[in-house]
Amino acid sequence: MATDQQSLEQRLDELLDVESFDPPEAFASAALNTRYEQPDDPVAYWAEQAKALDWFEPWDKDLDDSDPPFYKWFTGGKLNVSHNCLDRHVEAGNGDRVAFHWHGEEGETRDISYADLHRDVQRFANALKDRGVQKGDVVGIYLPMIPEVAVAMLACARIGAVHNVVFGGFSAESVKERMEFSEAKLLVTVDGARRKGKTAAIKEAVDGCMPDLPCIVVRHTGSGA
């Protein structure tokens, strides 16, 4: 028994010195394994890739390298991340395609299409504007891993607000510090979050630490908020 234990410990020590691991053969054989190759003209290559996006205003210069190391790509151009993530796909007739699959803590599943996400993001962007959020304002996002995280982030990008995402496992006190430091105008949070069969009263904890910070609450567990 002692010998087996020593062999295991020795093997673990050896693994600590390994910097990379090859994937299982069955996984590798089924994977799309295409290596990125440096193009002969990287600037021209990325300029060509950028043309696939919708630009509200075209760029003046592909790469401004006049002040190294502060390089700037596509100077003078203007686009919107939310529009490029959603609108252009819906407008191309792909609204019914699944944007992402969500699997919840308790086995829930949702398939969210581009059209669904586009609709919810538009609604939430309008809700933020109704609450006085403007371009440049900071919006805190304190949510578990639920679809509304993507909705909130894309809605902020849509109206030019800055989203400050805080890991859902942090305490309310830690969230308070980040909201104060970033001067957040509003916090998007949740009534409760499920974890390992238990429900944490998130909104209640937020109210205890930040009673004066305006909140938009996602009804996720049905707990009081």
Does residue 17 lie in a domain region?
A: no
Does residue 46 lie in a domain region?
A: no
- In angstroms, how far apart are the furthest CA atoms of the chain? 71
Question: How many domains does the chain contain in total?
Answer: 1
Residue 141's beta-bridge partner residues? 165, 188
Does residue 31 lie in a domain region?
A: no
Does residue 164 lie in a domain region?
A: yes
pLDDT in tens, the chain (225 residues): 566 777 888 877 787 777 777 888 888 888 776 666 788 999 999 999 999 999 999 999 999 999 989 999 999 999 999 999 999 999 999 999 999 999 987 788 999 999 999 999 999 999 999 999 999 999 999 999 999 999 999 999 999 999 999 998 899 999 999 999 999 999 999 988 887 777 788 899 999 999 999 999 998 877 754
Closest CA to 99 of 108, 90, 91: 90
Query: For the domain that residue 116 is a member of, what is the CATH number?
Result: 3.40.50.980
Does residue 3 lie in a domain region?
A: no
For 150, 195, 217, the CA distances from 221, given in Å and listed in that order, are 18, 11, 11
Beta strand residue intervals within the chain, DSSP E? 61-64, 72-75, 98-103, 109-113, 138-141, 162-165, 186-190, 193-195, 198-200, 215-218
pLDDT of residue 134: 96
In which residue are the tokens 């686009």 written?
A: 79
Does residue 101 lie in a domain region?
A: yes
pLDDT of residue 14: 80
Does residue 127 lie in a domain region?
A: yes
92's tokens: 């191309």
Radius of gyration, alpha carbons of the chain = 23
pLDDT of residue 35: 66
pLDDT of residue 136: 97
Q: Which residues contact 208 (CB under 8 A, 6 or more apart)?
A: 172
pTM of the model: 0.79
Q: CB of 218 within 8 A of CB of 148?
A: yes
Task: Provide DSSP, 139-204.
Answer: EEE---SSTHHHHHHHHHHHHTPEEEE--TTS-HHHHHHHHHHHT-SEEEEES-EEETTEEE-HHH
205 is in which domain, residue-wise?
81-218
Question: How far apart are alpha carbons 81 and 98 in whole angstroms?
Answer: 18
Does residue 72 lie in a domain region?
A: no
Q: CB of 157 within 8 A of CB of 87?
A: no
pLDDT of residue 163: 97
pLDDT of residue 221: 79
